[in-house]
Amino acid sequence: MGLLDPRFLAGLPTVTALPSSPATGYVCWLSTADSTAKAPPGVYLYDGTGWLCLQCNAVYDLGSTGATPSHTLIAGARYKATQSAAVTTWTVSISRPGIVYLTLAGAYSLQSPTMTSRTAKALGDAAWDDAAVALKKVALEDDGTYLIYICSEMS
């Protein structure tokens, strides 16, 4: 039985927005995108530190990046955005340690991301240095100490 199996979902509270102060261990089914939390529909767990997306039912559209995007993202969730300019400064925050996946469309250059209180570590430097392609897949991981990122160019 998968997380999105109706028998599993029947036992979960259904919400249209992630609660702002849930109890530790709270699990819920988010039935629609939550624009405040930047959360796609899916199953979420609050672990006392932050939200974790256990299974996404969609990809959340962050919209246009501009030149200096700043994103607060939920670990485990999947996102997409359209680069509307060369990114000169990119600041991210992830809800708790975990991985976030992002698809970027737009053939503009992309600077390495930064995260407060994390040292950034790049994987696949060659792809990152030439990230001005029309479609990119980016994985960002907060492991509690580092912000580890990799960019994969798509054609």
CA distance linking residue 93 with residue 95, whole number of Å: 7
pLDDT one-digit tens code per residue, 30-76: 999 999 999 999 999 999 999 999 999 899 999 999 999 999 999 99
Q: How far is CA 123 from CA 110, 138, 146, 151, in A?
A: 15, 11, 12, 8
Residue 2 has pLDDT above 70, yes or no: no
In the chain, beta strands by DSSP E: 14-15, 26-30, 42-46, 51-56, 60-64, 70-73, 78-82, 90-94, 98-105, 113-114, 119-123, 135-142, 146-154
> Domain locations in the chain?
1-57, 59-155
